[in-house]
Structures are given as structure tokens and as C-alpha cells.
């Protein structure tokens, strides 16, 4: 049986340039969908999947992210005194156990593969998850939990995959697809950001991975890949060449690319419409805007 996955790496050291000027001082992962920061969605998904150790790979300018996980005792006390039990409950649900979170610094934004490699000493010799908080996935069963259940049957490495329009392959890692095994496919290879005419399929990798430590050994070579960055995809592809199975998991759920403005807006609307306290007003507003075609002046 595959070894239990209890550690997750959250690479959050990117520059977040698509959200400038906001990301000049606000980490992208702290930006909120309705009232919860992106990172809270990722943490909740990880906890639901049984993760107990949370490793953040951060960089300069991300201190708001570290502060977010501190207990805010003054706020807790004030809410208690005012009898605001609902808010207190919301706040307490975000508290993390002391020692459960570690922060490692990526000193230069050399790519996702390099960010993951920065956490190698905290991972040691066991399988681990990687979660990109800007991929937010809504679904009945959290995506990482689905993947861990599938991984417990298959072992190897597992990446979350979804079909994308063929003209979009150059924004993703893409699988060379082998055999279908239920909700998973066995990958024969993986390519980072292929041009549509060179893409082996339109099955793209999104920001959830379960990886063996061999991927970290592959990253030891610090090889530059697509875009002059050290790519996680290349290190996983090397495992395939070394005979380690890699599975693409077709998750059940809706993925929002919150690293892009369009995806972030769509997620905001979708998550707001899912809320009983906001649905009615927002529906009416959206209906009126669409009907009149009127934008903000």
C-alpha cells in the first residue's frame, strides 16, 4: 500500500505580476474570494485530505501571508466580549495548530520546480502533496482528497488534470496520454507549455500534485526548462523516463484559475452565488447588468 501523505508544499513565492499594482504590496494568495483569502481555500482542502504539515515556500513581500495564520487574540477577545459567536467561530476555524506551518524562503523566483525543491529538507523521504493556491477547485469532495484516495490504490506520482481548449496548451503542463484506468490516465510523458501544434494532447496539469521524493532528487540537477525557469513538469517527466508511474487524475469539480483576472472574477461570482446571504441580491444585480449592458462609469 502507498505511504500516507501528510505533508503539503504551497509554493507562493511567485511575483504575481498579472495582478499588479495590487501585488506590489498584497500577496496574491491573500486576495479574497468574497471574504476568504485564496490561501484559506487551499488550507481547508489540504486539511480535508488529511494533511497535517503545511510548508509554505515564500519570498520577499509575503509577510501578510505569515501574519494571516497567527491567532489574533485581541480580535478573539473583542468578539467574545461582544457576544459575536458566529464571527468568533469563523475566526477560530482559520486558526492553525502551533508548529503545523513552516515557512521556507525561495531567494529568487527561479520557477515552480525550484520553489518545490526549496522545501526538500522538510519533506525528507516520503510522498508529499503540492498545492497551488491560485487554482481554486469547487466540488462536493475536495480535489486533493479525491486524489489521495486514488493514489492509495495506484501509488507512483499523481497530477490533477483537465481538458483545455487545444489553443490553450501553451499555458499549461500537458500529458502525453497512455492507458485509461478509470478516473486516471497513465502518462507516457509530460511537456511544459507546448505550442498547440506540438502538444501531445489537450489534457493539462493543474495545481494539485502528489509526488514521490524521487521528483525532488530529479530537481537536484537544477535544469532550466521552458521560459528559462526550473520546471516541476520536467522533474516529473524524468520520473516517467526512469520507469516511475505517473497518473493524471481527472478530478470531479470546477477549477477556477485565480492567477488570472478573468478566472478570479468568475470564482468571485460563483462563490458569492453559492452563499445564502448574498445570492438573491447578486443574482438581481447580474441580471440587471446583463439586461442593460451597463458597465461601471
Select 61 or 155, whichever has its Cβ closest to ligand UTP. Answer: 61
Q: Strands 32-33, 7-11: parallel, antiparallel or unpaired by DSSP?
A: unpaired
Task: Please count the residues of the chain.
Answer: 297
Select 134 or 154, whichever has its Cβ closest to ligand UTP. Answer: 134
Select 115 or 158, whichever has its Cβ closest to ligand UTP. Answer: 115
Contacts for 144 with CB less than 8 Å, ≥ 6 apart = 8, 45, 46, 48, 49, 51, 129, 131, 208
Min dist CB 211 to ligand UTP, Å, is 15
Please classify residue 135 by burial: count the beta carbons closer than 10 Å to its beta carbon, then call 0-12 exposed, 13-18 middle and 19+ buried: buried
Select 52 or 171, whichever has its Cβ closest to ligand UTP. Answer: 171
CA contacts within 13 A on the Cβ side of 160: 24
Question: Taking the alpha carbons of 273, 274, 278, 281 in that order, is the dihedral positive or negative?
Answer: positive
Within 10 angstroms of residue 263's Cβ, the number of other Cβ atoms is: 17
Residue appearing with cell numbers 477560530: 92
Residue 240: C-alpha distances to residues 95, 133, 174 (Å): 39, 26, 14
> Closest residue (Cβ) to ligand UTP?
14
Select 130 or 148, whichever has its Cβ closest to ligand UTP. Answer: 130
| H/E element, 221 | none
Min dist CB 223 to ligand UTP, Å, is 15
Select 12 or 185, whichever has its Cβ closest to ligand UTP. Answer: 12
Min dist CB 210 to ligand UTP, Å, is 17
Min dist CB 291 to ligand UTP, Å, is 34
Min dist CB 113 to ligand UTP, Å, is 9
Min dist CB 114 to ligand UTP, Å, is 6
Min dist CB 60 to ligand UTP, Å, is 12
Select 14 or 142, whichever has its Cβ closest to ligand UTP. Answer: 14
> Rule CB under 6 A: which residues touch ligand UTP?
11-18, 28, 57, 106, 109-112, 114-115, 132, 134, 259
- State the DSSP string of 109-162: ---HHHHHHTTHHHH-SS-EEEE-TTEEEE-SS-HHHHHHHHHHHH-SEEEEEE
Amino acid at each position: 500500500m502507498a505511504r500516507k501523505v501528510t505533508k503539503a508544499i504551497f509554493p507562493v513565492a511567485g511575483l504575481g505580476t498579472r495582478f499588479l499594482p495590487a501585488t506590489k504590496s498584497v500577496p496574491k494568495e491573500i486576495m479574497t474570494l468574497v471574504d476568504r483569502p485564496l490561501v484559506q481555500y487551499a488550507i481547508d482542502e489540504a486539511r480535508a485530505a488529511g494533511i497535517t504539515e503545511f510548508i509554505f515556500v515564500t519570498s520577499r513581500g509575503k509577510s501578510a501571508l505569515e501574519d494571516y495564520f497567527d491567532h489574533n487574540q485581541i480580535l478573539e477577545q473583542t468578539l467574545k466580549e461582544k457576544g459575536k459567536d458566529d464571527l468568533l467561530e469563523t475566526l477560530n476555524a482559520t486558526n492553525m495548530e502551533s508548529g503545523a506551518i513552516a515557512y521556507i524562503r525561495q531567494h529568487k523566483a527561479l520557477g515552480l520546480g525550484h520553489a518545490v525543491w526549496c522545501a526538500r529538507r522538510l519533506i525528507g523521504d516520503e510522498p508529499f502533496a503540492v498545492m497551488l493556491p491560485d487554482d481554486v477547485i469547487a466540488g462536493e469532495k475536495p480535489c486533493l482528497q479525491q486524489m489521495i484516495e486514488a493514489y492509495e490504490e495506484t501509488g507512483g506520482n499523481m497530477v490533477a488534470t483537465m481538458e483545455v481548449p487545444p489553443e490553450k496548451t501553451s499555458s499549461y503542463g500537458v500529458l502525453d496520454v497512455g492507458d485509461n484506468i478509470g478516473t486516471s490516465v497513465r502518462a507516457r510523458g509530460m511537456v511544459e507549455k507546448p505550442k498547440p501544434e506540438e502538444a501531445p494532447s489537450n489534457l493539462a496539469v493543474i495545481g494539485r500534485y502528489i509526488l514521490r521524493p524521487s521528483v525532488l532528487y530529479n530537481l537536484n540537477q537544477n535544469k532550466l526548462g521552458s521560459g528559462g525557469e526550473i520546471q516541476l513538469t520536467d522533474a516529473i517527466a524524468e520520473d516517467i523516463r526512469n520507469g516511475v508511474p505517473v497518473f493524471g487524475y481527472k478530478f470531479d469539480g470546477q477549477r477556477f484559475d485565480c492567477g488570472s483576472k478573468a478566472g478570479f472574477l468568475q470564482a468571485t461570482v460563483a462563490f458569492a452565488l453559492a452563499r445564502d446571504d448574498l445570492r438573491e441580491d447578486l443574482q438581481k444585480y447580474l441580471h440587471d447588468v446583463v439586461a442593460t449592458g451597463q458597465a461601471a462609469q
